Amino acid sequence: MRATDRTLRSVTYKPIGTVRSEHRDPERTPIQPTHARGCRGRLQIRPEVAAGLKDLDGFSHILLIYHLHKAGGPMLTVRPFMDEAERGVFATRHPRRPNAIGISVVRLVRIEGETLYVDDLDILDGTPLLDIKPFVRRFDTVGTSRDGWAGRVDERTARLRGRRGCRRSRSSDRR
């Protein structure tokens, strides 16, 4: 067996922290940050990696990469939350993936020591946080894109199915 084959079979990550949010029930958690406006939370960063937060406070948004610890076993075809048809899991953002990794872009409100306060949070309380990356418009925005089947879901349906149980904060209504 080649070294690269062994490496691919043994990838492991150590969480850098834990997500703290109002979301405790997977069935009532918003499905994307765009449907989580006003859902606030915080990220508790482990002390031994907190030095990595240096200079992050200059960014308005951050990408969170996390382990979907309550997703259940993987499925290759799933029914997306906003659609009735079965789709391949890689054509969705469904949590039951071969590698239970989630990605969300959230608004960074402030940093206090080892705690990041965020808004637009669509992640379950207690979720292991694997990494944080700054959102950089120059790198992370695509001028033109196609949304596949998701582009055919009307806005009302997306909003109703996407928000689920998240409570809106008053401050988010003023944005």
Predicted local confidence at residue 28, as pLDDT: 81
Residues 54/57/59/65 CA torsion (nearest 10 deg) = 60
What letters, b where the CB count within 10 A reaches 16 and e where it falls short, cover 76-86? eebebbbbeee
Predicted local confidence at residue 11, as pLDDT: 86
pLDDT one digit per residue (tens) for the chain, 175 residues:
565 665 677 789 999 999 999 999 888 888 777 778 889 999 999 999 999 999 999 999 999 999 999 998 999 999 887 788 899 999 888 899 999 999 999 999 999 999 999 999 999 999 999 999 999 988 888 777 666 666 676 677 666 656 665 555 434 333 3
